[in-house]
Amino acid sequence: MGFVVVVSLPLILFILIVALAFYLLGRARGRRGSAPQYYGPPAPPFQPPPPSQGKT
């Protein structure tokens, strides 16, 4: 019975530490992805070229 406790207790602690690390990394990545993006001023609208006078 002592062997089971000696083997399983470190394994359980390791799994808890890994789960906490993945949780914190995922939360940091999610917060970075949802951060507001700041853009510059809007671009002026596209102006089509004037029609050519020589072609009919």
pLDDT digits (tens, 9 = 90+) for 10-31: 889 999 999 999 999 999 888 7
pLDDT range class, residue 7, cuts 50, 70, 90? confident
Other beta carbons within 10 angstroms of residue 43's beta carbon come to: 7
Cα 14 from Cα 21, distance rounded (Å) = 11
Q: Using 50, 70 and 90 to split pLDDT, how confident is the model at 50?
A: confident
The number of folded domains in the chain is 1
Residue 40 lies in a domain: no
Q: Which two tokens stand for residue 53?
A: 């006078």
Residue 50 within any structural domain of the chain: no
Is 47 part of any domain? no
Q: Is 4 contained in some domain?
A: yes
In a domain, 14, yes or no: yes
CA distance 19 to 17: 5
pLDDT bracket for residue 1 (50, 70, 90): low
Residue 43 forms part of a structural domain: no
Q: Is residue 46 part of a domain?
A: no
Show the domain range for 18. 1-29
Query: Per-residue confidence at 4, pLDDT binned at 50, 70, 90?
Result: low
Whether the full predicted model's pTM is greater than 0.85, yes or no, is no
Question: Measured between alpha carbons, how far is 15 from 28 in angstroms, rounded to an integer?
Answer: 20
In a domain, 22, yes or no: yes
